[in-house]
Amino acid sequence: MKMKPFIVVTLIMLTCSYVYGQNDKFSQNGVNTMDTIFSVQAIAMAQKTVDAIVKKVETSLSYKNKPFRLVIRLAAKPGYIDKVLASYKGQQVLAAQNSGSVIYHVSLDANDGSILLYEAWKDFPSFEKHERHSITLKHFARTSDWLEKERIVQVVKDAFL
């Protein structure tokens, strides 16, 4: 019987999940190693999300080599807010390493508890480099099941440029 590649990958992932989940030495800081192993399908879905965000930002800008800002609103599923915030803290560190990142701030809306990201970028290529980074793709793959809705992305232009 010939198995489809997706089924083979799924079986491998389930085997890894069982083996790593049973052995405490594969767990670091209370996070199961399985959190760092991503299926091809999850990365492909993350790539589609990133592509949509990059396209929205690119089409919203009349220029690519000037500073711009983003406001992104997220809603975590009940019980996942701490995991989402921890993951975005890692993204904040990654953004700080990108010379094109001016601001990458994560905050909570005082009214509804949603997560607000405020990002300022030197230019579009710097933003695109960050979004397409392998760590960002893994972040999107990890957090997709923790979020209530899709990300609401708003491009905010400087009124004085």
Q: Could you read off the pLDDT of 63-113 as tens digits, one per residue?
A: 899 999 999 999 999 999 999 999 999 889 888 898 899 999 999 998 888
pLDDT at residue 161 in the model? 60
Tell me how far the alpha carbon of residue 8 is from its chain's centroid: 26
Contact present, 121 and 100 (Cβ < 8 Å): yes
Q: Class assignment of domain 41-156?
A: alpha beta
Q: Could you read off the pLDDT of 10-49 as tens digits, one per residue?
A: 444 444 444 334 433 333 444 444 444 567 888 889 999 9
Question: What residue segments make up the domains of the chain, in order of their start?
Answer: 1-37, 41-156
Ramachandran angles phi, psi of 94, nearest 5°: -60, -45
pTM over 0.75, yes/no = no
Torsion of CA 75, 80, 86, 87, to 10 degrees: -70
For residue 8, pLDDT over 60 is answered with: no
CA angle, 150 then 154 then 158, to 5°: 165
Helices 40-60, 5-22: inter-axial angle, 10-degree rounding: 110
